[in-house]
Amino acid sequence: MRITAITLCGALVSLLLWVSSASAHHGWAWAEDEQVEMTGTITEVFIGPPHPRLMIDTDEGPWQVDLGNPRQTREAGFVEGEAEVGDEVLIRGHRSADSDENIIKAVRATINGKHYTFYPGLLQED
């Protein structure tokens, strides 16, 4: 009986962690299906683990841009020195399905006319 209770508690905690990880910034489940474009001015560049990102200022206020994982970001050609604070950036990607959360997951970023495609297979060209 006691062992059953313990096992059940363990299973519940695992389920909770699994459900929350399904809505994590890794993966796409948390984002809208629709691919949109957004422009902004870069206020912060972070290239490194666990997750490279940009912070940008847009007409709708500050947004966080999640790039690919460190390897995908590097393979997209986006390395240190490619972008500076103050640069204009065009993001093509998927916004968080939660409208209170200003996070967009980038499929591609365009800075100074140069494309950095983090997820080539997911790019929907107009």
- Is residue 7 at the binding interface for other proteins, with CB under 8 A as the rule? no
Whether residue 62 has a cis bond before it, omega within 30° of 0: no
Whether residue 70 has a cis bond before it, omega within 30° of 0: no
Closer Cβ to other proteins, 66 or 116, answer by number: 66
- Is residue 2 at the binding interface for other proteins, with CB under 8 A as the rule? yes
**Which of 12, 22, 37, 46 touches other proteins by CB under 8 A?**
46
- Is residue 48 at the binding interface for other proteins, with CB under 8 A as the rule? yes
CA distance from start to end of the chain:
60
The half-sphere exposure of 123 on its side-chain side, counting CA atoms within 13 A, is 16
Binding mask 64-93 for other proteins (x = CB under 8 A): ------xx--x-------------------
**Which of 11, 14, 15, 23 touches other proteins by CB under 8 A?**
23
DSSP 55: E
Closer Cβ to other proteins, 92 or 96, answer by number: 96
- Give contact residues for other proteins (rule: CB under 8 A): 2, 6, 13, 17, 20, 23-25, 46-50, 70-71, 74
